[in-house]
A and B are shown apart, each in its own frame.
Chain A
Amino acid sequence: MNVRRQKLAGWIALQTAQATPAGAHEVAEFRSFNVREPASGRSYTVVRLRTRSGLTGWGESARADQATVAKARAAILGKPATAYAVTNTATSLDSAINMAMIDITAKAANAPAYRLLGGPTRHKVRALAVLHGTSDADLKSSLAKGIEAGYRAFQVPIPAVTGRNQGQAFDLAARMRLDALRAAAPANVDFVLQGAPNLMASDAATVAASLESHHLLWFDEPCPVTNFRTIRKISDESVTPLGFGREVREPSIYQDLLREGIVDILRPSIVHDGISRIRQIATLAETYYVAVAPNHEGGPIATAAALHLAASLPNFFIQHVPWPEDERDRRMRSEIVSPSIETPKDGFLALPTGNGLGINVNEAALTKYAEAQA
């Protein structure tokens, strides 16, 4: 047994040594770029990692300050870029670093990131856009533009909340809004109703019940996730699916929501959670037959990461894609990343086919749209 074990250990060491030259993919360089959309003013932080072996990986997080960048850099330099699932810097840049490490690992494997992660589980990715405007007329005009742009699923804001327990006028306004949009759209268009932070749970429950026949994809954030009894009340009173995640930063809260049976769609954030953490959250959700529809408030590099994530998950549902209202913002996104990955066709985005995240990042555009130093 001893001899056999020694032989085995030697053989395994040999195999490992052949497959990975020591230190080949160590992170040798970390750089970050804070960029800002010219019209909307939304900003995010792009991260570029380079390895000793010469591979480059890209990622993106919510905007990070100088101190965070310094801390992340100190923690990541010298780490093996392939250890994407077990490396963290305990900063908000972890999501960007995770995407960049997966980009590098997949490039080292000469494969698209979704293939590295066990996919594809689908050959295209369903897209969701948030309608612009607050009035019924603005929303209707935004819907027409969105359909023209290739989207077939839209998030619609609930009518303005003017007080507590608003009664039937509010419920009627919500119904009329959805009726009007439904009438203006072809039958293959679906809607998500977006809650508001000041919406009372009782009003949310009433609206969820009275909109049942609209078969919404889900009711997004009908109330804060701070009180499960309140969510239980809404979920018990209608069959409209409920989606939560905007305020959730800990996977354990998803675990509790799932265990309570009060959530239908988990909405982790691609820019906050990165690829690996959403994969963990999705695995939890899968055992409860619950789907995942990631939020996305960032830029086009995170969109690429979201597409690969979607193609690696069995229980992915639909991806929120930022759809800027202003042409200048849209131009910035397409200047940063090529080929164009944010243009849906018949409601779906194509999977990038190149190695890694499958995108080229234009560093000149990152400089052009750099956020002014504070």
Chain B
Amino acid sequence: MKRRHFLAGAALATKAARATDLCGCAPFVQAAAANDAAWQPVESGVKVTGMKVYGVSLTPDSDRPYVFVKLETNKGVVGWGEGTLEGKAAAVMACIEDFREFLIGKDPMQVEHHWQSMYVHSFYRAGPVIGSAISGIDQALWDIRGKVLGMPVYKLLGGPMDPRGVRGYYHARAGTKEQLMKLRETAIEQGVSCFKSGIPGYYEWIETRQKIDRAVKAMQLLREGLGPNIDIGVGFPREDESECRVYPRQRSRAPEAPVHRRAVPARKRSRHGAHREALDDSDSNRRAPGRAL
């Protein structure tokens, strides 16, 4: 017996036992009775008819193939989404395929309901792989919604919060002060106001003074080269709590993933030490021209 059939049986049993649970809101009941006539009056008439999954590498040896998903509908409207997960592209692609049977025939407009079904119904809840797969599908469903309803998605969601657009941060390669100063000119010219950087070299459980000094100097160089008006984000490998507590003096923005998310106490310590700044809107409004919507 397929697991799905077992679950459907469980759902029917639940349905019989709880006579009032008949609004179709429980993901299990929904899965068992997808074509329940009760849904018909509130369906949009759009149906998912096909799904294609793409893995795209920019170079043959890329460690980061992009994962794209395309959903097709009976109305000719298609939706695109992305579920890229570094180093796990094949797993995400296979996971999106696992949702094919669930998606075909569904009303793509019921995106909230389907997200719940994909996330909650699948017994083993989403980690990075299932989460990225659901994310790609969710984006494609929203793309379809925006096209069918004739509005950009941010308007469906009640925005825009800031009509000028969305502030972005960027990666760039610049190793010397001269290169950084050139980057700063280009950035200001193009409206870029934040870069994310890393720290040089490999770090250990307990850092040596030499390595900490090198990390601090690298951050000083970044700050001097980029000047006072460009913000800096720092991506930390996940064992570098000690650097986190050294960096605040450089006025960097929020350190990203400063310690592994499982290490909650360490994370708390590093946050307290680092005067972590939140990327709040008032701040970005003041400084960043942003990207046009």
Q: Tell whether A120 pairs with B158 under 8 Å between CB atoms, given A109-B151, A311-B42, A348-B23.
A: no
Q: How far is the CA of A236 from the CA of B71 in the complex (A)?
A: 48
B98-139: which have CB < 8 Å to A?
109-113, 116
How many Å from the CB of A15 to the closest CB on chain B? 7
Q: Tell whether A85 pairs with B159 under 8 Å between CB atoms, given A120-B110, A124-B23, A353-B41.
A: yes
How many Å from the CB of B154 to the closest CB on chain A? 9
- Cβ B25 vs Cβ A19 within 8 A: no
B38: chain A residues at CB < 8 Å are: 123-124
Residue of chain A at shortest CB distance from B158: A85
B contacts with A: majority SS? loop
One of B39, B111, B160, B291 near A123 (C-beta < 8 A): B39
One of A12, A116, A122 near B24 (C-beta < 8 A): A122
- B90 interface residue (CB < 8 Å to A): no
A116: chain B residues at CB < 8 Å are: 149, 156
- B228 interface residue (CB < 8 Å to A): no
Among A85, A108, A313, A347, the one with the most B-chain Cβ atoms within 10 Å of its Cβ is A85
A78: chain B residues at CB < 8 Å are: none
- A142 interface residue (CB < 8 Å to B): no
Q: How far is the CA of A105 from the CA of B159 in the complex (A)?
A: 11
A118: chain B residues at CB < 8 Å are: 110-112, 145
Q: Tell whether A121 pairs with B113 under 8 Å between CB atoms, given A16-B152, A20-B155, A86-B158.
A: yes
Tally of A interface residues using CB under 8 Å: 49
One of A13, A111, A353 near B292 (C-beta < 8 A): A13
B113: chain A residues at CB < 8 Å are: 119-121, 314
Q: How far is the CA of A242 from the CA of B209 in the complex (A)?
A: 55
- A126 interface residue (CB < 8 Å to B): yes
One of B42, B112, B151, B161 near A19 (C-beta < 8 A): B151
How many Å from the CB of B277 to the closest CB on chain A? 22
B156: chain A residues at CB < 8 Å are: 105, 109, 116
How many Å from the CB of B188 to the closest CB on chain A? 14
Once A and B bind, how many residue pairs between them come within 8 Å at the CB atom?
Answer: 111
Q: How far is the CA of A133 from the CA of B38 in the complex (A)?
A: 36
Q: How far is the CA of A121 from the CA of B39 in the complex (A)?
A: 10
- Cβ B110 vs Cβ A84 within 8 A: no
- B58 interface residue (CB < 8 Å to A): no
- A190 interface residue (CB < 8 Å to B): yes
A188: chain B residues at CB < 8 Å are: 19-20
How many Å from the CB of B164 to the closest CB on chain A? 12
A347: chain B residues at CB < 8 Å are: 20
- Cβ A119 vs Cβ B110 within 8 A: yes
- Cβ B151 vs Cβ A122 within 8 A: no
Q: How far is the CA of A235 from the CA of B112 in the complex (A)?
A: 31
One of B20, B22, B293 near A190 (C-beta < 8 A): B20
- A66 interface residue (CB < 8 Å to B): no
- Cβ B149 vs Cβ A122 within 8 A: no
Residue of chain A at shortest CB distance from B41: A353
- A83 interface residue (CB < 8 Å to B): yes
How many Å from the CB of B63 to the closest CB on chain A? 20
A117: chain B residues at CB < 8 Å are: 112
Q: How far is the CA of A122 from the CA of B20 in the complex (A)?
A: 13
Among A20, A314, A350, the one with the most B-chain Cβ atoms within 10 Å of its Cβ is A314
| Given A9-B292, A19-B152, A105-B156, 5 new contacts (CB under 8 A) | A83-B158, A105-B155, A115-B44, A119-B110, A313-B112
Q: Which residues of A contact B (CB under 8 A)?
A: 2, 5, 9, 12-13, 15-16, 19-20, 82-86, 101-102, 105, 108-112, 114-126, 152, 188, 190, 276, 311-314, 316, 347-348, 350-351, 353
> Can you list 30 A-B contacts (CB < 8 A)?
A2-B190, A5-B190, A9-B291, A12-B293, A13-B292, A16-B152, A19-B150, A19-B151, A82-B158, A83-B160, A84-B158, A85-B158, A105-B151, A108-B150, A110-B150, A111-B149, A112-B42, A118-B111, A120-B39, A123-B23, A123-B42, A152-B20, A188-B20, A190-B20, A314-B25, A314-B112, A314-B113, A316-B25, A350-B41, A353-B41
